[in-house]
Structure formats: structure tokens, C-alpha cells
Amino acid sequence: MFKNIKNWIHINTLDPNEIRRRNLLNTLVKGTLIIAILAAIITSIYIIVFNAWSQPGIQLMLISSLIFFLGGLTIYIINRRASLVAAILFLLLLTLASSVSDTPAQLADGRSLFVYTLPIAIASLIIHPIASFFFAILSSVIIVLLALSVSIVPNIPAIFGFLFLALISWFSARSLERALKDLRSTNANLDQLVTERTRALVESLARERIEAGRSIAILESITDGVIVYDIHGKAIVANPATTQLLSLPHEQVINSSKDDLTRAKALNANDRRILSDLLTNPGQQPASYRLHWGKKTFSVSSAQVFDTEETRIGTVAVFRDFTHEAEIEKMKDTILATVSHELRTPLNAILGHVEMLKEAVYGPINAKQARASERIISNTRRLLDIVSDLLDQAQIEAGRMSFKISPFKPGELLDNVRGLMSKTSADKHLALTGEIEPEVPEILIGDPTRLQQILVNLVINALKFTEKGSVHIRLFCPDRKHWAMEVRDTGMGIPEDEQEHIFDPFRQVDNNMTRKHAGFGLGLSIVNQLVALMGGKVAVKSTLGAGSVFTVTLPIVQTGGLQHE
């Protein structure tokens, strides 16, 4: 019912002000029609009940009600086509009805004077704000004529009151139209903004769905196991590779906690501790750890997950099957250790017998045979050094390198190294010098054999790549808690782009000098690994063509602090 009434009142037009005025006029007209109908009904009932047809004014009341109804209906029909004409007719009808609603004296200067304010106030709402002044003047003329018709003085204050009411109505209607205009403008801007935001949101959601689908496809296709934990440590994502690698059902992985994974029976105590640390403190460990999961070997890494606002929302753990590679490495280490050990025995025998030949134990030899013996001895020792390096590398990688900790004198360490390398430096006409700064303690704690190996490897490397000049060894203390060994040469230097790789196993600088002095490239790698096991570090500074400086920095141990590895 209310919907039908609304449709009856509604006017089809595009001008919002026109719509407002027409709808308001329709509402007023409908109210007038209802009042006219009620008046006609009440009057008819009164006539029937009290037989009052002949009473003064009853017939006029009934006729007026019918006229008002017909007039209102006519105005409504006109309003559907021409709102201005309909509004003027309505106000004229209202003014006319007001003029016959009481005696002329009461209308001109009595109780019914106020009825003329109605068309003045309504005119600014259904026609135009300025129309109030027209009907104020019209009402003033009517009350003047009515006053003159009954010979009374026109009510001048009432006329000024009509004009003042017209001014207020004009101002109010004008302000209302401006406010409505601003409101429509704001609504239009809001509608546009909502439309743009909605479109952007739809596009964003579409992009996110595409990205999510792409990410899921990538995640499900990779062979590495991936588990994503939320901020509370609960697994929320696990790809199919995870269940295959861990030999666990998907239901057991998803929604499980980090602790559930670390308590798996396939882990030993040490690997359980490492995995727990990886998942609890992601990104604070080396790039990856190797863990044994039953008969499998995994390379495991972890990282924090952040949202677009750089807020941490979880942790991701990646499991890579490293079983095949681990078996190959183990096989390589075994072969390397076995072959190196088996090579050392015959090489030592060869070296011993050649030295006996050189010393004429089996009889005198000529100069040519002596030179040949020297070359055999030199190359055999070189092979023994290579075998020793291979054995050391195998022991380090297998975690079987050990240290024999004891007090030693830095001076003796320096003298031993110079004594071992003096002939090599003399053969190349290079000066081999050394010094110990006064702040170095007279007694240090460490493994003198491994320290001598470190220093000898550095000196050999310096002598190998220095054609003229000198090699200088310096022992000093960079601070109160550390001591250092420095080897400085005047050789060819190392290119800047190669310096970060010179400590890698089997890595050599690629140039003519390196090819001239063949080798496995293990010397500096072993130095770096031994120093790391001792809790120290190795640094290199080099300028191409101006020589190199290698510095080994180690902690000063007061009471045998180094532990056997």
C-alpha cells in the first residue's frame, strides 16, 4: 500500500529541484484531497443524522468539499505535465479558499488573518524562493480590499508581517536549495569514490586470486618440502612434497605445531635441537642445516614471513632431499682419505730410497745421477705435501680434525718456520724475514704443530707467487684479547674479484703464474678452516702488482681454552 502511494506521488523528471517541488506539491494536493473527502463525508453524515440540509452553510460546505476535491485532482493531473502551472493554481486555490473561510472583517483584521501566511510560506517551496514575495503582495492586496469593503482601516502591520514572512521564506528556501545542491554534489563525489574504490577492490581481489592460484601451483609443483607456520607456530600450508619427504600423511602435517615436528621419532637428539632452533629463530642461522631424518638426509632452511606492511605473520621451513648428495660426499671423503693414506706409504718409501741413493749408501753416484735424485726427492716431497693437504681436507670435512693443545713460544714457532722455508726462499733469491712485536706474550696456548702448518702454508703461498723482493713474517697483538700472524709479500697480488674466493677448496686464481706453479688449491682453504676451528679468522689485503698481506687473528687462550675437535 505504501509503495503504491509512493509511486502515485513520485514524479518522473531529471531536475532534482523539480522533483522535490513536484513531490511536495503532490503531497500537499493529496492531503487536500483527503481533507476534502473527509469534509464531504462528515458533512453528509451530519445532514443525514440531524436532517440539517436547510441549515445555513451546510450546503456551501458540501459543495466546497466537492469543489476542493475536483480542484485538487485537476491540479495533480496538471502537475504531471506542468509543475509551475499546477503550483500556481494550487496556491491561488488555497488563497481563494482562505478568502471565503470567514467574514471579511475577521479575514482583514481578525482571527482568520493568519490563513494568508500559508500560501506565502508554501510558495517558496513549491514554485521558487522569490515566489513568496508575489503571494505576500497578493495577500496584502486582498486584506486591503476586504478591509475597505467593510469600511475598516487596513492592517498595515499585517502587511509588513507578510513581507517579512516572505523574506524569511525566501532565505530559508534559498538556503535549503543550496544545502541540497551541496549535498547532491557530495553524494555524487562519494558515489564516484565508492565506484572507484569498488572497482579497485574487485581488481585487487582478482589479482590476489590469480597470484594465489599461481603460488599454489608453484608450491605444489616443486620437489622441495615447504611448510608455512602462522605466528602461533601452527602449520597452515604444506605442499605434497612435504608429506612424501617426511613420510607423513598430510593430515598429520597440517594444523600440527612446530613441536610436533621436532618430536618426530625419525630425528635424533642433536638434529631435534637444531630443527627446533631453526623453526624458533628463523633467519638467525646459516643458510641451511643438514639433518638426518631416518635414513634420509635433508638440507633444511627457514625464514620469516612478512605481509605487505612488513609485519611478521609466520615462518616458512624448506626441506630439500640431500640424501643422494650426502652419500656421494661421504663416498668422496672415504675415497679421498683412503687413497691419500695409501699414497703416503709408497711415497715415503720412494723418498727414503732415493735419499739413500743420493747419500751413496748403495755405492757412489755421478753428478747427473745426483741431480736426478734431487728432482725425484723434490717432486716426491711435493706429492707428500699434496697428500697431506688431501688428508687434512678429508679430516676437516668429516669432522675428525683434532688439536693437541699445549704451551708454546712464539719465537720458536717463527724460527721453525724460517728454518723450514729458508732453502726455498734462498733458491728463489728472496729475502725471508721475521719479527715479533714486544706486546706478544712469551708463552701462548695452542696447537704448535697446526699453527706451524698454517704459517708454513701462508709462507709457501707467498714464496710461490713472488718473483723478486721479500716475504716478511710478523707476530703481533691487534688488541689485548687476540694475537696475530701476518705474512707480507711483494709478489704479483690478487685481483679484487678473486679475493673472496681464494679460501674456497680447490680454487686458484686463474693466471699464468698459477698455471706455472701447479697445485690443488687446498693450502689457503686448509688455513682458513683450521683457523676457524681455532676460533679465529683470516683476512687478506692485496693490490694487483703490489703484493699481498695475509693476517691470521686468533684468541689469546690463558688456560688451555681450545677444545679438542
Q: pLDDT 10s digit of each residue in the chain, 565 long?
A: 545 545 544 445 567 777 777 888 888 888 888 888 888 898 888 888 888 777 766 776 777 778 778 888 888 888 877 788 888 888 888 888 778 767 888 888 888 888 888 889 888 888 888 989 999 999 899 989 988 888 898 889 988 999 999 899 899 888 888 888 888 888 888 888 888 888 888 888 788 777 767 777 777 778 888 888 888 888 888 888 888 888 888 888 888 888 888 888 888 888 888 888 888 877 666 567 788 888 888 888 888 888 777 788 888 888 888 888 777 777 776 776 676 667 777 877 887 877 887 777 777 888 888 888 888 887 787 777 777 777 777 777 766 778 888 999 999 999 999 988 888 888 889 999 999 999 999 999 999 999 999 999 999 889 988 888 999 999 999 999 999 999 999 988 888 878 777 887 766 655 554 445 445 567 888 889 899 989 899 999 988 888 899 999 999 886 544 444 4
The three three-digit cell numbers of residue 171, written as one number: 532565505
3-state secondary structure of 373: helix
> Looking at domain 406-555, which CATH architecture does it have?
2-Layer Sandwich (3.30)
- Would you tell me how many other CB atoms lie within 10 Å of the CB of residue 249? 9
Distance in angstroms (rounded) separating the CA atoms of residues 443 and 460: 26
Distance in angstroms (rounded) separating the CA atoms of residues 390 and 287: 26
Secondary element (H or E) of residue 6: helix 2-9
Number of residues that this document lists for the chain? 565
Residue 206 makes CB contacts below 8 A (sequence gap 6+) with: none
Do the Cβ atoms of 226 and 245 come closer than 8 Å? no
Which value, to the nearest 10 degrees, does the dihedral of the CA atoms of residues 401, 402, 406, 412 take? -30
Phi, psi of 417 (to 5 degrees): -65, -45
Residue 432 makes CB contacts below 8 A (sequence gap 6+) with: 418, 421, 422, 425, 459, 463, 470, 471, 473
Q: Helix crossing, 58-79 with 16-50: angle to 10°?
A: 160
Q: Per the CATH hierarchy, to which homologous superfamily does domain 223-321 belong?
A: PAS domain (3.30.450.20)
Secondary element (H or E) of residue 551: strand 547-555
Distance in angstroms (rounded) separating the CA atoms of residues 421 and 515: 22
Distance in angstroms (rounded) separating the CA atoms of residues 351 and 341: 16
Distance in angstroms (rounded) separating the CA atoms of residues 343 and 340: 5
- In what order do the strands lie in the sheet containing 225-230? 235-238, 225-230, 312-321, 296-306, 289-293
- Would you tell me how many other CB atoms lie within 10 Å of the CB of residue 459? 24
3-state secondary structure of 559: coil
Distance of CA 242 to the CA centre of its chain: 25
Cα 221 to Cα 218, 239, 241, 269, 517: the distances in Å are 5, 8, 8, 32, 48
The three three-digit cell numbers of residue 138, written as one number: 497578493
Going from N- to C-terminal start, the domains of the chain cover 2-189, 223-321, 327-398, 406-555
Do the Cβ atoms of 533 and 495 come closer than 8 Å? no
Among 372, 445, 363, 458, which Cα is nearest to 409's? 445
Distance in angstroms (rounded) separating the CA atoms of residues 376 and 347: 11
Distance in angstroms (rounded) separating the CA atoms of residues 281 and 198: 40
